[in-house]
Amino acid sequence: MSGNKIMVVDDEPDITELITLYLERDGFDVYQADNGEDALRLAQSVKPDLIILDIQMKRLDGIEVCKRIRIESGVPILFVSAMSDDTDIIHGLEVGGDDYITKPFSPSQLVARVKAHLRRHQGNGWNRQVQQDEVLSLGGLTIDIPARTVHIQEAEISLSVKEFDLLLCLAQAPNRTFPLDELYALVWGADSMGDTRTLMVHISNLRKKVEPDPANPQFIVTVRGVGYKFHYKEGTSHVYR
């Protein structure tokens, strides 16, 4: 994994230097920006393999930077913020963030998260390449794995990289219940450390896109007290309005 390009965007120099120090110790090439406008220009020129992005910044905040990057790239974006409010976390994940970590944080924990995301996202960033060869058709929902596309009946729906990975993980084992921590580990490639808000926000976003009635999910079902499963009975087809 040595030599991967990591872009660190934060307007606090001490934080940026600390993150850079630990990443460079592990052999990463680190590029820095201290505001959103410079971050967008740097991303275009460097095309990083992963972005560590602060939310609160001058000259474009992290939310807007993430939204603009998502127009053209599925590069992993890890939000780092002093804010632990659920609303801010949800907003960051809804606009395309893959994960988050709150300040203060353990630098070694951050590096571990970076490595996990890079393992899971190889080929899903600026130049996407998928080697799998399979199409899943389940109750009106079609998942083309090599093309990384999802269709509901004949209409293609747009999913983020993490939403696609999460749907695929569930759909490849229909009717199997995945505990929250296990599902997080499978899709994010890291230990959730007991915080599964990232997973739950992505499940909510995914339901809005693939369920006939997101308030009463038919595909992605909650197993109370355990986790989630992809509900499917062979020969059935869900009805979309």
**Pair 52, 106 in one domain:** yes
The verdict on residue 176 lying in a domain is yes
The tokens of 13 are what? Answer: 């120099």
Q: How many CB atoms lie within 10 A of CB 216?
A: 8
Sheet holding 149-152, edge to edge: 135-138, 141-144, 149-152, 155-157
Type of residue found at 236: T
CA atoms of 97 and 75, how far apart (whole Å)? 10
The number of folded domains in the chain is: 2
SS3 176: coil
- 226 and 146 in a common domain: yes
The answer on 139 and 116 residing in a single domain is: no
Task: Report if residue 128 sits inside a domain.
Answer: no
Q: Is residue 238 part of a domain?
A: no
Q: How high is the pLDDT of residue 130?
A: 37
What is the predicted pLDDT for the residue at 42? 95
Residues 189, 154 share a domain = yes
Same domain, 161 and 89: no
pLDDT score, position 100:
86
Q: Is residue 51 part of a domain?
A: yes
Residue 176: which CATH number?
1.10.10.10
What's the pLDDT score for residue 83?
A: 66
Residues 204 and 156 in one domain: yes
Tell me if 74 sits within 8 A of 125, measured CB to CB.
Answer: yes
Domain containing 62 — which CATH number?
3.40.50.2300
In the prediction, which pLDDT does 178 show? 93
Distances (CA, A) of 224 to 69, 182, 221, 229, 232: 36, 15, 9, 11, 18
On whether residue 201 sits in a domain, the answer given is yes
Structural domain boundaries, residue 97: 5-121
Question: Do 105 and 144 fall within a single domain?
Answer: no
Per-position pLDDT tens, the chain of length 241: 568 999 999 999 999 999 999 999 999 999 999 999 999 999 999 999 999 999 888 778 999 999 999 888 889 999 988 766 667 777 888 888 988 888 888 888 889 889 988 887 764 444 433 344 588 888 888 999 888 899 988 889 988 888 998 999 999 889 999 999 889 888 887 776 667 888 888 999 999 999 989 999 989 999 999 999 999 876 555 444 4
Question: Quick one: 107 and 174 in the same domain?
Answer: no
Tell me, yes or no, whether 160 and 96 share the same domain: no
8 Å CB contact between 1 and 49: no
